[in-house]
Amino acid sequence: MLLYHFGSKETLIAELLGFVARTYSQALDAALGSERAATRGQALARILTHARSPQMQPFMALWWEIVAGAARGLTGFAPAAHAITAELLGWLEGQMPADDPDPKGGARYLLTLIEGTLMLAAVGHEDTARDGLLASGLAPA
């Protein structure tokens, strides 16, 4: 019956994972509030603090499963990961400081730092991530 409603397994997976991405974005919005960060560094610190919180760990575990599925070429995972990333980029653009000269570029830069930081922490290299953030000049306090 699910396949009848969604048309294909790929569409079902993409819709489900898109729902998860929207739920994650809404959870970030609720945790961070409507006030924009004053700097990119402040935005990065706020997002990383929340992403590392216990309530976000189920989302992070699912995200790494989606990434792994995309890397392995599992049906539906690459388009879902692409859609989730696009959703997060759009959300991040809205988190850039109001006077940011390049919110689109800033969102891509921060997403790269966020994803790298969280992945390194997930594999036990939190020190490496911290050192990389220090080198970027955007190390969270």
pTM here is 0.82
* Euclidean distance between CA atoms 64 and 139, whole angstroms: 23
DSSP sequence for 54-88: GGGHHHHHHHHHHHHHHHHT-TTHHHHHHHHHHHH
Q: Exposure of 3 by Cβ count < 10 A (0-12 exposed, 13-18 middle, 19+ buried)?
A: exposed
Q: How confident is the model at residue 24 (pLDDT cuts 50, 70, 90)?
A: confident
> What integer pLDDT is reported at residue 140 of this predicted model?
60
pLDDT tens per residue across span 57-104: 888 898 899 899 999 998 778 888 888 888 889 889 988 999 999 999
Domain boundaries, the chain: 38-136
Q: Which residue has the higher pLDDT, 99 or 33?
A: 99
Q: Which residue has the higher pLDDT, 127 or 88?
A: 127
- Single-letter amino acid, residue 98: A
Cβ pair 23, 119 in contact under 8 A: no
Containing 111, the helix (H) or strand (E) segment is helix 103-122
